[in-house]
């Protein structure tokens, strides 16, 4: 799988941030200047602002969002099928393969659990006045509010579990709220493929790999639209809602970034110490280039060569171990992404007023882990899959618009633990194989 197109890779983050700043500054200024106070009649200038928001800014933003949503079904199906079907060869690698997968699963689940804990503790989606919340809901949800009201809260544990197995997989793929069914189908089909000689499934696997890569290309194009899309979305939000919405987004941003920092600087550092026997200072002095590369490219795939180089040259891991664990991890092991998805889904559920009981939170946890495994290691790779988790728990995917303005920074930050977790895994396995790592 390839990283996002090289063109503009350096300038794209800056352009997206610029889009966000311009959209927010314009929106807030127009809101302050022209928004009528409650009960007062709307001026012509205010009506013009609303017209621009609804007819220009929002459609551009929606176009960007739709491009992300468009690739959901093929990405989910191909990545999960290929992931499981490929396990046939991992099995053959014996201990190394088993331990690698265990590491991926446990660290990703740990990161998603931290997300659940933090959002439950901080409640970023509730840090707004009741009137402000009403206006946010009105602007973002509109007609979807009804859908939420009859939506997931009423689902029992049994229903949620039953829904995992679809009666009709085509209907499940077509029904925005039933992607769990598609996930189940892809996993089962992948498992069936491991029970067949690799030769028999080769053509299918190659075809699905190509579809997956094509979707990643389309996603790369969508990301080129991101500066305008983000500008349009944030303008629409801030012009209609003023500072209220900025405050809400700031709480989300602080929670997500706080979680990612905790995971990177506490959890990963501890894992490096305990499992690979590397001190904090040694770990970070060896990782400097890696951290900068992951942060600036926002892509686990683009960072992969640096991750391998760091493992081998800085820490002395054998090439074979690093060469096996790290490419697999770049596609499958995304601690930061799982944490981000957990925080985003629970935050948006809080804003939408969707109450998630324990069973629904467990669904979020499992889906954050699964979709982090399925996400492509490119900038914004997890955004289409975030939409999947949102719809699954009854939060309209359109709500994503609320957090996209700050996603670039969150994406850069979440890519760091995505790659350092792969690095520590390879160092742990090297140490277990009796290799003496460089001090």
**Which of the ranges 177-185, 224-232, 233-241, 296-304 carries the binding residues for ligand ASP, by CB under 6 A?**
296-304
Q: Which two tokens stand for residue 138?
A: 């009105």
CB closer to ligand ASP out of 352 and 421: 421
Task: Figure out which of the listed residues 152, 239, 382, 426 binds ligand ASP, where binding follows CB under 6 A.
Answer: 382
Region of 128 please: left (phi>0), alpha (psi -120 to 50) or beta.
beta
**Which of the ranges 120-128, 163-171, 179-187, 409-417 carries the binding residues for ligand ASP, by CB under 6 A?**
409-417
Does position 79 interact with ligand ASP (CB under 6 A)? The reply is no
Task: Figure out which of the listed residues 83, 232, 380, 405 binds ligand ASP, where binding follows CB under 6 A.
Answer: 380
**Which of the ranges 46-54, 223-231, 362-370, 412-420 carries the binding residues for ligand ASP, by CB under 6 A?**
412-420
**Which of the ranges 89-97, 111-119, 351-359, 374-382 carries the binding residues for ligand ASP, by CB under 6 A?**
374-382
Does position 378 interact with ligand ASP (CB under 6 A)? The reply is yes
Task: Figure out which of the listed residues 352, 418, 420, 426 binds ligand ASP, where binding follows CB under 6 A.
Answer: 418
> Which residues, other chains included, contact 426 with Cβ-Cβ below 8 Å and sequence gap of 6+?
311, 317, 321, 322, 325, 326, 329
**Which of the ranges 69-77, 141-149, 241-249, 378-386 carries the binding residues for ligand ASP, by CB under 6 A?**
378-386
Per rule CB under 6 A, count of chain residues that contact ligand ASP: 16
Closest contact distance (angstroms) between CB of 82 and ligand ASP is 17
How far is the C-alpha of 409 from the C-alpha of 216, rounded, in Å? Answer: 20
Closest contact distance (angstroms) between CB of 297 and ligand ASP is 8
Residue whose token pair is 């709500």: 399
Does position 379 interact with ligand ASP (CB under 6 A)? The reply is yes
How far is the C-alpha of 368 from the C-alpha of 373, rounded, in Å? Answer: 9
Closest contact distance (angstroms) between CB of 411 and ligand ASP is 5
Task: Figure out which of the listed residues 236, 298, 360, 420 binds ligand ASP, where binding follows CB under 6 A.
Answer: 298
Residues found in the chain:
439
Phi (first) and psi of residue 156, to 5 degrees: -85, 170
CB closer to ligand ASP out of 107 and 299: 299
How far is the C-alpha of 36 from the C-alpha of 40, rounded, in Å? Answer: 6
Task: Figure out which of the listed residues 160, 201, 293, 300 binds ligand ASP, where binding follows CB under 6 A.
Answer: 300
How far is the C-alpha of 111 from the C-alpha of 239, rounded, in Å? Answer: 35
Does position 334 interact with ligand ASP (CB under 6 A)? The reply is yes
Closest contact distance (angstroms) between CB of 69 and ligand ASP is 15
Q: Which two tokens stand for residue 115?
A: 């997300």
Task: Figure out which of the listed residues 240, 408, 414, 431 binds ligand ASP, where binding follows CB under 6 A.
Answer: 414
- Sign for the pseudo-dihedral over CA of 7, 9, 15, 19: positive
Helix or strand (DSSP H, E) at 363:
helix 358-374
Does position 342 interact with ligand ASP (CB under 6 A)? The reply is no
Does position 335 interact with ligand ASP (CB under 6 A)? The reply is no
- Sign for the pseudo-dihedral over CA of 410, 315, 277, 330: positive
**Which of the ranges 123-131, 157-165, 304-312, 380-388 carries the binding residues for ligand ASP, by CB under 6 A?**
380-388
Eight-state DSSP code of residue 3: -
Closest contact distance (angstroms) between CB of 29 and ligand ASP is 31
Closest contact distance (angstroms) between CB of 186 and ligand ASP is 19
Using alpha carbons, list the distances in angstroms from residue 316 to 93, 311, 313, 322.
21, 6, 5, 10
**Which of the ranges 167-175, 211-219, 262-270, 370-378 carries the binding residues for ligand ASP, by CB under 6 A?**
370-378
3-state helix, strand, coil in the chain (%, to 5): 80, 0, 20
Q: Which two tokens stand for residue 382?
A: 């997890």
Evaluate whether 153 touches 354 at the Cβ level (below 8 Å).
yes
Task: Figure out which of the listed residues 133, 272, 375, 424 binds ligand ASP, where binding follows CB under 6 A.
Answer: 375
How far is the C-alpha of 6 from the C-alpha of 65, rounded, in Å? Answer: 22
CB closer to ligand ASP out of 26 and 304: 304
> Which residues, other chains included, contact 155 with Cβ-Cβ below 8 Å and sequence gap of 6+?
163, 360, 394
CB closer to ligand ASP out of 30 and 118: 118
CB closer to ligand ASP out of 72 and 141: 72
Using alpha carbons, list the distances in angstroms from residue 378 to 298, 334, 381, 401.
7, 12, 5, 20
Region of 8 please: left (phi>0), alpha (psi -120 to 50) or beta.
left
Helix (H, G, I), strand (E, B) or coil at 231: helix
> Which residues, other chains included, contact 251 with Cβ-Cβ below 8 Å and sequence gap of 6+?
122, 124, 125, 127
CB closer to ligand ASP out of 382 and 392: 382
Binding site for ligand ASP (CB under 6 A): 298-300, 334, 337, 375, 377-382, 411, 414-415, 418
């Amino acid at each position: 799988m390839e990283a996002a197109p090289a063109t503009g890779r350096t300038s794209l983050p800056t352009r997206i941030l610029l889009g966000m700043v311009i959209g927010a500054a314009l929106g807030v200024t127009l809101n302050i200047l022209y928004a009528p106070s409650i009960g007062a009649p709307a001026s012509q200038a205010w009506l013009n602002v609303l017209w621009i928001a609804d007819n220009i800014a929002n459609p551009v933003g929606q176009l960007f969002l739709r491009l992300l949503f468009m690739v959901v079904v093929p990405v989910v199906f191909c990545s999960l099928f290929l992931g499981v079907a490929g396990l046939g060869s991992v099995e053959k690698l014996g201990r190394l393969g088993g331990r690698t997968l265990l590491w991926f699963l446990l660290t990703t689940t740990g990161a998603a659990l931290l997300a659940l804990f933090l959002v439950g503790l901080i409640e970023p989606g509730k840090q707004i006045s009741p009137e402000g919340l009403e206006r946010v809901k009105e602007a973002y949800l509109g007609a979807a509010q009804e859908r939420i009201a009859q939506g997931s809260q009423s689902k029992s544990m049994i229903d949620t579990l039953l829904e995992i197995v679809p009666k009709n997989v085509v209907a499940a793929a077509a029904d925005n709220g039933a992607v769990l069914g598609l996930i189940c189908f892809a996993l089962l089909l992948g498992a069936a493929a491991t029970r067949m000689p690799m030769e028999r499934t080769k053509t299918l696997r190659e075809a699905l790999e190509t579809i997956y890569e094509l979707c990643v290309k389309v996603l790369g194009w969508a990301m080129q639209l991101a500066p305008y899309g983000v500008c349009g979305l944030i303008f629409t939000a801030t012009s209609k809602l003023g500072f209220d919405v900025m405050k809400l987004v700031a709480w989300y941003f602080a929670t997500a970034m706080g979680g990612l920092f905790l995971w990177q600087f506490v959890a990963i550092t501890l894992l490096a110490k305990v499992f690979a026997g590397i001190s904090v200072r040694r770990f970070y002095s060896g990782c400097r280039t890696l951290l900068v590369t992951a942060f600036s490219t926002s892509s686990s795939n683009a960072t992969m060569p640096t991750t391998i180089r760091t493992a081998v040259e800085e820490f002395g891991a054998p090439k074979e171990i690093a060469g096996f664990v790290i490419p697999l991890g770049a596609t499958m092991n995304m601690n930061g992404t799982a944490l981000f998805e957990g925080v985003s889904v629970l935050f948006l559920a809080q804003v939408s007023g969707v109450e998630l009981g324990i069973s629904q939170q467990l669904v979020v946890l499992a889906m954050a882990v699964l979709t982090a495994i399925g996400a492509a290691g490119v900038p914004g790779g997890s955004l289409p899959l975030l939409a999947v988790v949102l719809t699954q728990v009854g939060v309209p995917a359109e709500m994503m618009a609320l957090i996209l303005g700050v996603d670039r920074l969150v994406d850069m930050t979440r890519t760091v633990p995505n790659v350092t977790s792969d690095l520590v895994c390879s160092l742990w396995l090297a140490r277990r194989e009796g290799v003496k790592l460089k001090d």
